[in-house]
Amino acid sequence: MIKPVYRVQCDGPGKEWLSLPDGYVPGTDLMAGVLIAAATAERAGNWPGEREAQRAAVGAGWRPAVGSDFRTWLCPACPACQGAGPTTSEEKTA
């Protein structure tokens, strides 16, 4: 049976992928904070659903673009994305 997996790619100019860090051993626990941005999808994380992919992205510091429907994400490693500003009114007032 073929099962879909979900990956996260930056919607900014870098188009980087939310990826597993070097040295990761498959089957071991992986905290979202250690996920990295990578230029290729070679080590991109595979999540079983869109919700899990979103949770991993948020945990790694990624965030939806301003006005997005959670299908576009900004990567914290990309300087252009870092300057994109807050995504919600709550963040503006925080």
* DSSP state letters, 13-37: TT--EEEPPTTPPTTS---GGG-EE
* Stated length of the chain: 94
Q: Count H helices, E strands: the chain?
A: 3, 4
Checking DSSP bridges between strand 17-19 and strand 36-38, what pairing results, if any? Answer: antiparallel
Checking DSSP bridges between strand 36-38 and strand 63-64, what pairing results, if any? Answer: unpaired
- Within a 10 A sphere around the Cβ of 3, how many other Cβ atoms? 6
Predicted confidence band at 92 (pLDDT cuts at 50, 70, 90)?
very low
85 closest CA partner among 71, 69, 64: 64
Is the entire prediction scored with pTM above 0.95? no
Q: Does residue 17 carry a pLDDT above 70?
A: yes
pLDDT tens digits, 29-86: 888 888 999 999 999 999 999 999 989 998 898 887 777 666 677 888 777 676 655 4
pLDDT tens digits, 32-48: 888 999 999 999 999 99
